[in-house]
Amino acid sequence: MVTPCLEPKLSATSGGTFVIRQANPADAAQWLELVRVNLGDNYPAREIYDPGWVGMQLDPHSGEETWVAEHSGRILSSISFLRSADANNNPVANLGRNLNRDEAYFCGAAEALVCEVTQQAQRLNQMAVVRVPALDSRQQLIYEKMGYVCVGYQPCKHILRSRQGIFFYVRPAEPVIRSRMHLSESLPQISELAGRVLTHLNIPSPISIRDGATGYPLQTELDVQQSTFEDFEVWRAQAGLNNPPGRGFLRLQPQSRPAPHRGAVHAGSLLSGPAEQPDCLRDFLHVRPARQMRAGARLFRHQ
């Protein structure tokens, strides 16, 4: 975590001069407006719209830390150092809540703020990690200009007005740990991607080893075969014949004590019910036509 610092700093760019400073509870109203500009009014985490909660998040002494870029008293951009869930000396600066007005990109405020928080992470010798929406090319260009490298992508990660994929950007600290494990070639695509990421991070690619089933003798009956969709449908039907109702994951050992059951039957057929186990509850449902359900089902309890 960055040590709290309430001293504002001036940052001059070609677009103007901005005040880069740490936010405080008095900024709650403006920061909440910035949230609505970026996320709208329907973000799933509803507490983000609570002024009291926002004020606590902006309090430098609460353990949370947010930095803003403002011009003429108006907040244009914001980034937070997200606190780790566990109290530890995390060598990673987890940047989040990166919110920007449109004019922050044109006038340089967004870039000036990213530059400042990056320098703070550098001074603490922390690796910086940030998540950027895959559709936001303006943020991507700023972080790449500051030396961040895209190391991953997760589709449909966050809801930002609509569900969007997220790019994971990393800026390594110095010195970079260069003693790493060998890259496995069990999955060639993963090995290739890992090599590219390490190259962009200026980390020499480690030795690749060719391994696989021969390198890791596994005791398994799994047989992986290439097939067409038609073959898959045939095999699935065959597997269904070998897995009759009452077998599979819900089967009981003959010597075991029958577990209590509650459910509903109609015309001698089980409609639905749970099977209670000592350490879990397993639900199963056998669908019947709606007209049979309307005709009435007999509830039962069997011990």
Neighbours of 34 (CB within 10 A): 22
Place of tokens 């947010």: 66
Torsions phi, psi of 211, nearest 5?
-130, -170
Buried b (16+ CB within 10 A) or exposed e, 138-165: ebbebbeebebbbbeeeeebeeeeeeee
pLDDT tens track for 184-239: 555 555 666 777 777 777 766 655 555 554 444 456 666 777 888 888 888 888 87
pLDDT classification of 118: cutoffs 50, 70, 90:
very high
How far apart, in Å, are the Cα atoms of 162 and each of 50, 224, 255? 21, 37, 53
pLDDT classification of 267: cutoffs 50, 70, 90:
low
Residues 109/42, Cβ–Cβ less than 8 Å: no
Tell me the pLDDT of the chain averaged across its residues.
72
Residue of 241, 301, 242 whose CA lies nearest to 274: 301
Indicate whether this model's pTM tops 0.75. Answer: no
109 pLDDT above the threshold of 80: yes
pLDDT classification of 83: cutoffs 50, 70, 90:
confident
Burial class (CB in 10 A: 0-12, 13-18, 19+), 224: exposed
Please give the pLDDT value at position 174: 67
d(C-alpha 178, C-alpha 159), whole Å: 36
How far apart, in Å, are the Cα atoms of 241 and each of 21, 56, 105, 110, 238? 68, 60, 62, 62, 5
Residues 69/42, Cβ–Cβ less than 8 Å: no
Residues 66/78, Cβ–Cβ less than 8 Å: yes
* Domains along the sequence of the chain with CATH: 9-171 (3.40.630.30), 258-302 (no CATH)
* DSSP codes of every residue in 248-265: GGG---TTSPPPPEEEEE
Please give the pLDDT value at position 252: 41
Q: Rounded mean pLDDT of 139-158?
A: 86
Query: What angle separates helix 109-123 from helix 137-145, to the nearest 10 degrees?
Result: 40
Q: Rounded mean pLDDT of 78-86?
A: 80
